[in-house]
Amino acid sequence: MRRLPPLLRRAWFSLNQSFRQRILPFGLTPDQYTILRWLAEGSSKGLTQSEITQRMASDANTITAIVRRMEAAGLVKRSPHETDGRAKRVQILSPGRNIFQKAHGQALKLQHDVLASLTPAESELFLELLERVADACSGEAATKSRSPGTQEGEV
C-alpha cells in the first residue's frame, strides 16, 4: 500500500542528499542555498531573520546560527531593522549572489534530471498536485494539533 508520509520522506531525503552533493563544491548547504535564493530573488532590502525563520519552517536559533555562518563567510550582511529595534535585516552580498548563481545552475539541472522521469505534461501536473498537497499539509499543521494517540508521521 502506498502511504504519503514514507513516499514524501523518501523523495525529500533523496533529493536533498543529491542536491547537497551537487552544491558541495560551492561550500553551501541546502539551507544556505535556500536562504541565498530568497535573498537573490527578493527585494534589495532583504528579509528579516524572522521572515527567513518562517519560510524555512525552522526555529529562530537555527536560522541565527546559519545566517551568522553565512555572514562570517561574506555571503550576507545583517543590519538592524529600520523600524524594529529587535529585528535584524539580512541582505545578500555580491559574493553570495555569485555563489548562488553558480549553485542555481546545479539546482536547475537536478530538477530537470529528476523530472525527466516524467513526460512534460506529467511534470507540470505533478508539480501542480504536489503544490496542492503541500498547501493542504500546511493548512492542517496550522489549524489542527496532533491527537494524543497519533504518532508523528503516522497516516
Quick check: is 152 in a domain? Answer: no
Domain that holds residue 95: 4-142
Residue 81's contacts (CB-CB under 8 Å, 6 or more residues apart) are 48, 87, 88, 89
What is this structure's pTM? 0.80
Which residue did the predictor score with more confidence, 57 or 65?
A: 65
Query: Cell for 87?
Result: 529585528
Q: What backbone torsions phi and psi does residue 101 show, to the nearest 5 degrees? A: -60, -40
Quick check: is 155 in a domain? Answer: no
* Confidence at residue 145, expressed as pLDDT on a 0 to 100 scale: 46
Q: Other CB atoms closer than 10 Å to residue 104's CB: what's the count?
A: 16
Quick check: is 27 in a domain? Answer: yes
Quick check: is 69 in a domain? Answer: yes
Count the domains in the chain.
Answer: 1
Residue 67's contacts (CB-CB under 8 Å, 6 or more residues apart) are 35, 49, 52, 76, 78, 88, 90
Alpha carbon of 98 to those of 20, 95, 102, 145: distances in Å? 18, 5, 7, 42
Residues in the chain: 155
State mean pLDDT over 140-152. 56
Query: Cell for 90?
Result: 539580512
Quick check: is 151 in a domain? Answer: no
State mean pLDDT over 57-69. 92
Quick check: is 154 in a domain? Answer: no
Q: What is the pLDDT of residues 97-145, one digit of tens each?
A: 999 999 999 999 999 999 999 999 999 999 999 999 988 987 777 675 4
Quick check: is 67 in a domain? Answer: yes
Q: CATH no. for residue 51?
A: 1.10.10.10
